[in-house]
Amino acid sequence: MIAITGATGQLGQLVIEHLLKTVPADQIVAVVRHPAKAAALSQQGIHVRQGDYTDQATLTTALQGVEKLLLISSSEVGQRETQHQNVINAAKAAGVKFIAYTSLLHADHSPLGLHVEHVATENTLAASGIPYALLRNGWYTENYLASVPPALEHGVFIGAAGEGKIAAAPRADYAAAAAHVIASEGHSGKVYELAGDNAWTLSDLVAELSRQSGKTVSYQNLSEADFAAALKSVGLPAGLADMLADSDAGAAKGGLFDDSHTLSQLIGRPTTPLAESIKAIL
């Protein structure tokens, strides 16, 4: 059986959609914190099991009989290292034979602060003795598209990425890659640097947004500190605002660029272009 942690999350749901194309529902285990939120998965014949990143015992029970595990990184930045250690310990106790982990693009030398917890998890995996693969995901296009509505309203798209090239792809493209790796063989020991085929800058994004919307939107590049302050001023939690500002600053240093085309090779098609994603959100 194949298990997916965080199965009701945005990425987890998309992975399951892809898995169901090639894997029988009764061979999929959805590990979720709140099973009541996974009724739709149960109705499809998927095994829904309660497992909490903070509770190793629940995870060990949830992973019984599982051969392959997709460990989707926790959304709780600052707590990931311990939470992922719990999952890996539980997998070892349950006899899981392979783990694929959603890490960060070029985690081993990334300028993004987010890399620290991912590297710690990669090291834990290496020490676990369980065969594994690393899915080092680049940025989701959706991370930037969330700013489109206010940009259209105010005519300004703010950020701190300068002219850094961002090789982003939609979440669904990364989900397709994860589903392929966890459902097929030959991935043990592999490190996949996953990113969109065609990189763009935030200025490029804004130009495309202006073209498609018919509204004039400009890109305003801020310092990392000013961008964080602006995000906090509109109600984002301080931790999230600081993380987003740090990530933009990392993008300015090339931290979100990759031109290996590994993602499109894994999914067997080109990644979704920025223009198509903007069209969809408009």
Give the Cα separation of 226 and 159 in Å (integer): 9
Q: Rounded to 5 degrees, what angle do the CA atoms 231, 172, 241 make? A: 10
Report domain extents, the chain: 2-138+170-194
Q: What is the pLDDT of residue 236?
A: 87
If you average pLDDT over residues 17-21, what whole number do you get?
96
Nearest to 259 by CA among 213, 211, 197, 209: 197
* pLDDT (mean) for 83-89: 96
CATH topology of domain 2-138+170-194: Rossmann fold (3.40.50)
Q: How do residues 203-216 score in pLDDT, each as one tens digit? A: 999 999 999 999 99
Answer yes or no: is pLDDT of 75 > 90.
Answer: no
Summary mean pLDDT of the chain = 95
What is the predicted pLDDT for the residue at 234?
87
Is the pLDDT score of 137 beyond 90? yes
Give residue-wise pLDDT tens across range 231-273. Answer: 999 888 898 899 999 999 999 999 999 999 999 999 999 999 9
Nearest to 250 by CA among 135, 136, 110: 110
For 182-237, how does the pLDDT look when each residue is reduced to its tens digit (9 = 90+)? 999 999 999 999 999 999 999 999 999 999 999 999 999 999 999 999 999 988 88
Question: What's the predicted TM-score (pTM) here?
Answer: 0.95
Q: What pLDDT, on the 0 to 100 scale, is given for residue 116?
A: 94
